[in-house]
Amino acid sequence: MPLTLGTAGHIDHGKTALVRALTGIDTDRLPEEKRRGISIALGYAPLELAAGRVSVVDVPGHERFVRTMVAGATGIDFFLMVVAADDGVMPQTREHAAVLAALGVDAGVVAVTKADVADPARALAEAAALLPGAEAVAVSAVTGAGLAELRDALDRAAERVVPRAADGVMRLHVDRVFSIRGAGTVVTGTLWSGEAVSGAQVAILPSGRRARIRGVEVHDEAVERAGAGQRVALNLAGLDRDEVARGAVVVAGDAGADLAASYRVDVALAWATPESRPDGGARVGVHHGTRETAARLAELGGRFFQLRLEEPIVPAYGDRVVIRSLAPPDTLGGGVVLDPAPRRHGPSRDLLARLVRLERGEPEPEPVVAPEPEPEPVAPPDYDPELEERLKAAGHEPPADAELGSAEAFAALRAHGRAVRLGRDMHIHPEALARVEARVVALGEAGEITLAGLRDDLGTSRKYAQALLEHFDAARLTLRVGDARRLRRRR
């Protein structure tokens, strides 16, 4: 399985120089990076190890760019922490270590660089105290000393990586967007799950826009399909450059409700230090994938919290989040998503028991439903067959109830299953509704369902198309995403 290696470490400690010494590629490409001599954007390079080809993500060390570091680190499998021999462990060494811990990235290697200018002993000891589980190697990007040992240590760390689940619904967190003349919009990111296949339909969340994968590239080479864990570039047809940005999530077109935008998540969190734990109700920064948003931290008891987000994220069970303070910026901790779409709730015993089960990965118990007492059989009142005929004849354009019959007469029709309520003062015959449902399903299978699309398909007015779509939303056939709708996945 292809692995992704992420650099980490304080500014100027030699991350980019080391990636260049290992891969031959200078990942500082921007003129501003050259001019200032620092990394600003994420850089990428392939690295050949004995274990196979690894994708390297080189992150910036500047304290102002920690959010970029988090976005880069979010898709990595193991880390290369860089500590300069002449400087030792510094604030962003610690902060990046906290981010890696929050993301659950615990396999990796420490490189103590600039061993040609200072004795690495002190930096090696500080690194061992900060990251006791990682091998530390003294190197020099200038003389090349220690690089062979570093490669061997990276190979050993690669073996410790727990492979991510390759199955699941296709999901990619966008970290870069650009357009290529003649080809259109291209997004890049790491595939978190599933496969990206040329020709497949996708949805861009949270906007709900739809597109088609016109082409897939891995390290500048066109491929038919790419698997989870790989860094990919997707050429998307049917999407303008300004309809997608870093932080967007590209998911399989039929992901349905399995992957949806959410303003709330229940999480289990761990803090970088005991002092890092904010008070309940605090406003914090939440990073998920390449997205970030402010949120309220609602306490659910112990390590469990509900994050009430100001902007939606696209979470799944088991995803990692990083929690940062907004001012002064610092990484406080992070944890795991247990419920990606909970209701708004406070602490309770039942909830805690459920969160503990979810944390252990135990299945949800079947809900215990008390048997309802059998209702007394009551014969529905007789219905008016002429009213049913009038309703049937009206098809999917029924007039207001008042024009056809009394409220009691409609209630009797409903009781016999011969009328369905469509809005507050309108009914539709079930046969007409079934015909419309078939059209909605056909539209949804071909792409997205819009108000104008259904209106034209039925040759009806906006009013009826609107009422019908709202009915199907409520009936959970369709899911409203932005201005459009799509079919919910049937379970």
Ligand X SMILES: Nc1nc2c(ncn2[C@@H]2O[C@H](COP(=O)(O)OP(=O)(O)OP(=O)(O)O)[C@@H](O)[C@H]2O)c(=O)[nH]1
Q: How far apart are CA 313 and CA 64, in angstroms?
A: 23
* Residue among 30 and 353 whose Cβ is closer to ligand X: 30
Provide the angle, in degrees to the nearest 10, between the axes of the packed helices 385-394 and 407-415: 90
DSSP state of 221: E
Q: Quick check: 114 binds ligand X (CB under 6 A)?
A: yes
* Residue among 20 and 396 whose Cβ is closer to Mg ion: 20
Task: Show the tokens assigned to 380.
Answer: 């529905």
Q: Quick check: 245 binds ligand X (CB under 6 A)?
A: no
Task: Show the tokens assigned to 370.
Answer: 């008390």
Task: Show the tokens assigned to 225.
Answer: 């399909």
Segment 59-88, which members bind ligand X (CB under 6 A)? 60-62, 82
Stretch that binds Mg ion, among 38-46, 66-74, 246-254, 313-321 (CB under 5 A): 38-46
Q: Quick check: 299 binds ligand X (CB under 6 A)?
A: no
In total, the chain counts a number of residues equal to: 491
Q: How far apart are CA 255 and CA 243, in angstroms?
A: 20
Identify the bridge partners of residue 176 per DSSP, sorted by sequence position. Answer: 188
Least distance between ligand X and beta carbon 12 (Å): 4
Q: Quick check: 117 binds ligand X (CB under 6 A)?
A: yes
Q: How far apart are CA 140 and CA 15, in angstroms?
A: 11
Least distance between Mg ion and beta carbon 39 (Å): 3
Stretch that binds ligand X, among 56-64, 170-178, 218-226, 348-356 (CB under 6 A): 56-64
Segment 4-23, which members bind ligand X (CB under 6 A)? 9, 11-17
Side-chain-side CA neighbours of residue 456 (13 Å): 6
Which of ligand X, Mg ion, none does residue 235 bind (CB under 5 to 8 Å by kind)? none
Q: Tell which one of 140, 188, 235, 478 touches ligand X (CB under 6 A).
A: 140
Which of Mg ion, ligand X, none does residue 441 bind (CB under 5 to 8 Å by kind)? none
The alpha-helical segments, DSSP class H, found in 384-450 are 385-394, 401-404, 407-415, 430-446
* Residue among 36 and 160 whose Cβ is closer to Mg ion: 36
Q: Is the dihedral of CA 96, 102, 104, 106 positive or negative?
A: positive
Least distance between ligand X and beta carbon 43 (Å): 9
How do the residues of the chain divide into helix, strand and coil, expressed in percent and rounded to 5? Answer: 30, 30, 40
The torsion angles phi and psi of 471, rounded to 5 degrees, stand at -60, -45
* Residue among 37 and 375 whose Cβ is closer to ligand X: 37
Least distance between ligand X and beta carbon 9 (Å): 6
- Helix (H) / strand (E) element for 155: namely helix 147-160
Q: How far apart are CA 172 and CA 202, in angstroms?
A: 10
Q: Tell which one of 2, 3, 5, 39 touches ligand X (CB under 6 A).
A: 39
Looking at 26-170, which runs of residues are DSSP E strands? 43-49, 52-58, 78-84, 108-113, 135-138
Task: Show the tokens assigned to 352.
Answer: 């805690």
Least distance between ligand X and beta carbon 140 (Å): 4
Q: How far apart are CA 326 and CA 278, in angstroms?
A: 11
Q: Tell which one of 113, 193, 235, 331 touches ligand X (CB under 6 A).
A: 113
Stretch that binds Mg ion, among 13-21, 126-134, 357-365, 434-442 (CB under 5 A): 13-21
Q: Write the binding mask 456 to 475 for ligand X: x where contact by CB under 6 A, - elsewhere.
A: --------------------
Q: Tell which one of 3, 14, 16, 234 touches Mg ion (CB under 5 A).
A: 16
* Residue among 38 and 223 whose Cβ is closer to ligand X: 38
Which of Mg ion, ligand X, none does residue 225 bind (CB under 5 to 8 Å by kind)? none
Task: Show the tokens assigned to 285.
Answer: 């920064």
Q: How far is CA 36 from CA 25, 30, 33, in A?
A: 19, 10, 5
* Residue among 128 and 142 whose Cβ is closer to ligand X: 142
Q: Could you tell me how many residues of this chain bind Mg ion (CB under 5 A)?
A: 3
* Residue among 140 and 331 whose Cβ is closer to ligand X: 140
Segment 452-481, which members bind Mg ion (CB under 5 A)? none
Q: Could you tell me how many residues of this chain bind ligand X (CB under 6 A)?
A: 21
Least distance between ligand X and beta carbon 22 (Å): 12
Which residues, including other chains, have CB under 8 Å from residue 393's CB and lie 6 or more apart? none
Give the three-class secondary structure for 444: helix
Which residues, including other chains, have CB under 8 Å from residue 113's CB and lie 6 or more apart? 13, 14, 17, 18, 82, 83, 84, 85, 139, 140, 141
Q: Tell which one of 23, 25, 26, 38 touches ligand X (CB under 6 A).
A: 38
Q: Are 74 and 319 in contact (CB under 8 A)?
A: no
Q: Are 463 and 452 in contact (CB under 8 A)?
A: no
Q: Quick check: 15 binds Mg ion (CB under 5 A)?
A: yes
Q: Quick check: 402 binds ligand X (CB under 6 A)?
A: no
Least distance between Mg ion and beta carbon 84 (Å): 12
Which of ligand X, Mg ion, none does residue 145 bind (CB under 5 to 8 Å by kind)? none
Least distance between Mg ion and beta carbon 259 (Å): 33
Which residues in this chain contact ligand X in the complex, by CB under 6 A? 9, 11-17, 38-39, 60-62, 82, 113-114, 116-117, 140-142
Which residues in this chain contact Mg ion in the complex, by CB under 5 A? 15-16, 39
